Chain A
Amino acid sequence: MTGIVMFVVALLMLILGFPVAFTFAGVALAFGVWSEGMELFAFVPYRIQSIMQNTILMAIPLFIFMGVVLQKTRLAEQLLESMAQLFGRVSGGIAISTILVGALLAASTGVVGASVVAMGLISLPCMLKYNYDKQLACGTICASGTLGQIIPPSIILIILGDVLGLPVGDLFKAAMAPGLLLIALYIGYILFVTLKDPERAPPMPVVDEPKLTMIRKALTAIIPPLALIAVVLGSIFTGIATPTESSALGGVGALLLALAYRQFSFSMLWQSAKETVTVTAMVFAILLGATAFSMSFSYTGGDMLLEEWLLDLPGEKWGFLILTMLVILILGFFIDFVEISFIIVPVLAPIAEALGISMVWFAILIAMNLQTSFLTPPFGFSLFYLKGVAPPQVRTVDIYRGVLPFIAIQMAVVLALLVRPGWFGL
């Protein structure tokens, strides 16, 4: 019972706003020492050493670095502009470009905050300038930004791979189908809206550049980053390189792209590495805290008790899946996916396994579910990010209303994934 009480206390303490990593560590320490004595924590250095030697987790800073560099080369701006021009007189052209660029950006960074902020800064002013409906514009940006959760190489899939003991490449592969389906449905929705009500997404005024130059401009902006991502993912999927190896290729490739686009400088390299260090530290500090936490939790018998409860749920695996998905959805409103993956998922994993649930399927469900969670008002993270960079005439309500249709799409896909995993090859 101590373990369960500790869990609840830790969650309550989080609300105070002290950094999550240390809140978990501190609470775990208090309960652990009180019930088992100090020696329990003599193992912490051994656990830390295994994190140090974990080559899968090494891919995290390298992929973050790749994303940060790509962001600093201002590729996204160029991409969005030239792509939107290609759509020319098609209604909803900028919105569709936003989804596509967002997906590409998401694939390159795997970091939701970064892509929502980037798209909010680049694409929102553009859409507002051409008299897009504010709600549609906001919904599109938030939705395309959260794609980074599911489209590989997403950080969350790397973490889940480590926590669940699954090959990261398998998770990346499994995430492709639902990710692409989401992109298709988002675009389908925008087309549907523009068909019904063209006023909500008017086409851009025609530029009198010859079509050929426009296409060439668009291609020079699209092909290099697309090629980089194709190489990175391709080398993982074909099994030529491990995710960590391809993340280093991606990082160096991103630097080469920056050179090619004349955006490279040593201060840019330094700044990118510095941002990478901060984000990496944030992820791994939580892992350190979670390490202490999970030790206390299992030594005080928390996991046994939880397992007993969850195995007793009616409906066997369905009861378990529905409950855990709901819990993760709600927790996702308040805490980051890093905490959820490092603290909550390890507790659930053995139970899922005992119930005969396919682990890859479980991982993809969790990732999709968290993505939904980050999109859902009133607490979804991506909504806050967009509000943070949106011009004042965009009200919070616009953002909330705008994401609703996208949440419906998202929920539909999660449901399909839950009920008919076969459709996605899972």
Chain B
Amino acid sequence: MMPFILLLDTLLKKITQLCGILAVVAMIGLLFNVFYDVVMRYAFNDVSIGMQELEWHLFACVFLLGTPYAMQQDGHVRVDIFYERWSDQVKALVNLLGAMLFIFPFVILVTMYGSDFAYEAYDIGEGSGDPGGLPHRWIIKSLIPLSFALMGLAGLGMITQALRVLIGKEPYPKQQREHLS
């Protein structure tokens, strides 16, 4: 059982880390995309609808792909008044149950409805309503079910990690989150 858990754990980690890399690339792209649009608009009075639409496409990649990655990094905010003091076993139990009860139903439902949503866009060949806008709206819309499916995988990763702590008596890695408030 344990080797299987370890393998699954590593595999899931790799997938979510790939999300992270893509989100980071999108982040850098977003910065220069918006900057380029600003410069073009003010310096050359030239607005490209396609480039402006690309802004929100990249922005969507940043947070939709960043979320599963942050889950793997334990980057999401917890109310840790008690959590901090609990033993690794109790923490593992919280994460195990939390992933099953809170994450799975939510991501399954949104992945399901999100797929319909994206398929509909594909079916009618939806594109941008503006001249010069980006075509194939279904691609960016598919990011919604994709992101939620990946969140599901990241949730599964929380479970495998919790099992490693519970069965394998491994310690929980220290939280490495960047706190916002």
Most buried by A among B20, B59, B80, B116: B59
- Residues of B within 8 Å of A155, CB to CB, are 180
Counting chain B residues whose Cβ lies within 8 A of the other chain, the interface size class is: 35 or more
Give the A-B contact count at a CB cut-off of 8 A.
Answer: 214
- Nearest residue (CB) in B for A64 is B180
- Residues of A within 8 Å of B114, CB to CB, are 44-45, 48
Report Cα–Cα, A45/B64, bound state, in Å. Answer: 12
Counting chain A residues whose Cβ lies within 8 A of the other chain, the interface size class is: 35 or more
User: B63 to A19, Cβ gap below 8 A?
Assistant: no
Q: Name the contact of B98 in the complex, choosing from A16, A114, A374 (C-beta under 8 A).
A: A16
Knowing A22-B98, A45-B113, A61-B27 are in contact, say whether A245-B38 is a contact too (CB < 8 A).
Answer: yes
Docked complex: A13-61 residues within 8 A CB-CB of B: 14-23, 25-27, 29-30, 38, 41-42, 44-46, 48-49, 51-55, 57-58, 61
The smallest beta-carbon distance between B124 and chain A, in angstroms, is 15
User: A286 to B77, Cβ gap below 8 A?
Assistant: yes
- Residues of A within 8 Å of B28, CB to CB, are 269-270, 273
Closest 4 CB pairs of A and B: A17-B83, A26-B102, A281-B66, A18-B98
Report Cα–Cα, A26/B67, bound state, in Å. Answer: 16
Instruction: Kindly state whether residue A65 has any CB partner on chain B within 8 Å.
Output: yes
- Residues of B within 8 Å of A51, CB to CB, are 63
User: A336 to B181, Cβ gap below 8 A?
Assistant: yes
User: A245 to B34, Cβ gap below 8 A?
Assistant: yes
Instruction: Kindly state whether residue B109 has any CB partner on chain A within 8 Å.
Output: yes
Report Cα–Cα, A334/B109, bound state, in Å. Answer: 29
User: B24 to A274, Cβ gap below 8 A?
Assistant: yes
Most buried by B among A38, A48, A277, A280: A277
Report Cα–Cα, A285/B86, bound state, in Å. Answer: 25
User: B55 to A58, Cβ gap below 8 A?
Assistant: yes
User: B56 to A385, Cβ gap below 8 A?
Assistant: no
User: B113 to A42, Cβ gap below 8 A?
Assistant: yes
The smallest beta-carbon distance between A286 and chain B, in angstroms, is 7
Instruction: Kindly state whether residue A302 has any CB partner on chain B within 8 Å.
Output: no
User: B113 to A44, Cβ gap below 8 A?
Assistant: yes
Report Cα–Cα, A203/B55, bound state, in Å. Answer: 51
- Residues of A within 8 Å of B38, CB to CB, are 241, 245, 248-249
Extra inter-chain contacts (6) besides given A44-B113, A278-B178, CB under 8 Å: A15-B81, A19-B71, A41-B109, A61-B63, A274-B20, A277-B27
Knowing A17-B86, A61-B62, A244-B34 are in contact, say whether A282-B113 is a contact too (CB < 8 A).
Answer: no
User: A273 to B24, Cβ gap below 8 A?
Assistant: yes
User: B79 to A15, Cβ gap below 8 A?
Assistant: yes
Docked complex: A109-160 residues within 8 A CB-CB of B: 111-114, 155
Knowing A26-B101, A44-B110, A52-B140 are in contact, say whether A288-B60 is a contact too (CB < 8 A).
Answer: no
User: B178 to A251, Cβ gap below 8 A?
Assistant: no
User: B106 to A292, Cβ gap below 8 A?
Assistant: yes
